[in-house]
Amino acid sequence: MAGKPRMEFGYNPPTGERGLEAVRPREFLSDLHRALDAASQSFTSLWVSDHINYGSEFRIECWTLLTWIAARYPGRMLGTIVMSNSFRSPALMAKMGASLQHLSSGRFILGYGAGWHEGEHRAFGFGYPSPGARVDMLEEGIQVIRRLWTEAPASFEGRFYRVEDAHCEPLPDPRPPIMIGGAGERRTLRVVARHADWWNDLSRPEDETRRKLEALRRHCEAEGRDYDGVRKTFTARIFIDRDRNRAREAAGRWSSGGQPPIVGDPAEVRDRLHQWAEMGFDLCITVFPNFQALDDMKLFVDEVMPEFA
């Protein structure tokens, strides 16, 4: 008889408005405390999204919040889900990551991506080249970061970035995993196969996810990379309620943008996560809509997570 499927769970609190998830600016810090106090008791990792703004909404910057969490919650891994290569120079990002790794006693995971929201790039004066160019910049940026994390002094000269005799001391020990977020089958997943320790995708219909996995497998074979050596992770919005109809009603008010949430009572949610585990994913980074009430998170902790312990 096969044993229970193993899966770890991370928690991604909001940094600002997030669909159905209302944020109260005046109470944000106290709400965040309550959410992280609860999450840090059960989830193995805490994650922060990297967005500057979608419009005029309240929003906290990613790295500032992650550093605050690192000091406040010393018992959990810390990750970004995922940082935009466009917002910070890769060399500076390497220095920031090495510093946080040292100060957090080795708890940092660098989630990294090419950036996708054109509006916030333009609003803050960042360039927004073509998707192909952004993926090329991502790939070169990862090479800069790895070079600075492993060599001292480090030099690199590429098409987009250049460093010369740079010292990124203290060199991070252990070196943080680099997790690439994105699922473009032709280019992004090739970068994952070449450079990533971990891969992160969004929740999708099962047939689409299996197609992405097969594309990643082909790229790994072409690059001489062990496919099983790339850790597979995914981010999912969870709508859970003891009454499955209430869960579906809440999910129906959210526009998924082609990224279906995981919806249902605890049994249905467990079954859906079993499917992801069967496909080879062993970390789910969770998003819950009831940021203030936390009833959905607590139900998930009590009746879903034990199945995968």
CATH code: domain of residue 49: 3.20.20.30
Angstrom CA distances, 138 to 133, 145, 187, stand at 9, 11, 11
Could you tell me which residues come within 8 angstroms of residue 134 by beta carbon, excluding any fewer than 6 positions away?
Answer: 85, 86, 114, 115, 128
**Mean pLDDT in the chain?**
95
For residue 208, being part of any structural domain is answered with: yes
What total of structural domains would you count in the chain? 1
Per-residue pLDDT at 54:
82
For the cut 70, the answer to whether the pLDDT of residue 116 exceeds it is yes
- Please report which confidence band the pLDDT of residue 18 belongs to, taking 50, 70 and 90 as the band edges: confident
By the 10 Å C-beta count (0-12 exposed, 13-18 middle, 19+ buried), 164 is classed as: exposed
For residue 68, being part of any structural domain is answered with: yes
Least reliable range by pLDDT among 4-8, 58-62, 170-174, 228-232: 4-8
pTM score, whole prediction: 0.96
- Please report which confidence band the pLDDT of residue 1 belongs to, taking 50, 70 and 90 as the band edges: very low
Per-residue pLDDT at 55:
79
For residue 219, being part of any structural domain is answered with: yes
**Are the C-beta atoms of residues 139 and 219 closer than 8 Å to each other?**
no
Q: Taking residues 123-148, what's their average pLDDT?
A: 97
The predicted-structure confidence for 207-245, as pLDDT tens digits, reads as follows 999 999 999 999 999 999 999 999 999 999 999 999 999
The predicted-structure confidence for 238-296, as pLDDT tens digits, reads as follows 999 999 999 999 999 886 666 899 999 999 999 999 999 999 999 999 999 988 899 99
For residue 1, being part of any structural domain is answered with: no
| Residue that has been written with the tokens 């097969």 in this structure | 214
For the cut 70, the answer to whether the pLDDT of residue 72 exceeds it is yes
What is the span of the domain harbouring residue 126? 8-308
For residue 199, being part of any structural domain is answered with: yes
Could you tell me which residues come within 8 angstroms of residue 178 by beta carbon, excluding any fewer than 6 positions away?
Answer: 110, 112, 142, 145, 146, 195, 196, 197, 198
**Are the C-beta atoms of residues 18 and 287 closer than 8 Å to each other?**
yes
For residue 179, being part of any structural domain is answered with: yes
**Are the C-beta atoms of residues 28 and 35 closer than 8 Å to each other?**
no
The predicted-structure confidence for 151-171, as pLDDT tens digits, reads as follows 999 999 999 999 999 999 999
For the cut 70, the answer to whether the pLDDT of residue 19 exceeds it is no
**Are the C-beta atoms of residues 212 and 185 closer than 8 Å to each other?**
yes
Query: Structure tokens of 260?
Result: 């279906």
For residue 85, being part of any structural domain is answered with: yes
For residue 210, being part of any structural domain is answered with: yes
Q: What is the 3-state secondary structure (H, E, C) of the chain?
A: CCCCCCCEEEECCCCECECCECCCHHHHHHHHHHHHHHHCCCCCEEEECCCCCCCCCCECCHHHHHHHHHHHCCCCEEEECCEECCCCCHHHHHHHHHHHHHHCCCCEEEEEECCCCHHHHHHCCCCCCCHHHHHHHHHHHHHHHHHHHHCCCEEEECCCCEEEEECCCCCCCCCCCEEEECCCCCCHHHHHHHHCCEEEEECCCHHHHHHHHHHHHHHHHHHCCCHHHCEEEEEEEEEECCCHHHHHHHHHCCCCCCCCCEEECHHHHHHHHHHHHHCCEEEEEEECCCCCCCHHHHHHHHHCHHHHC
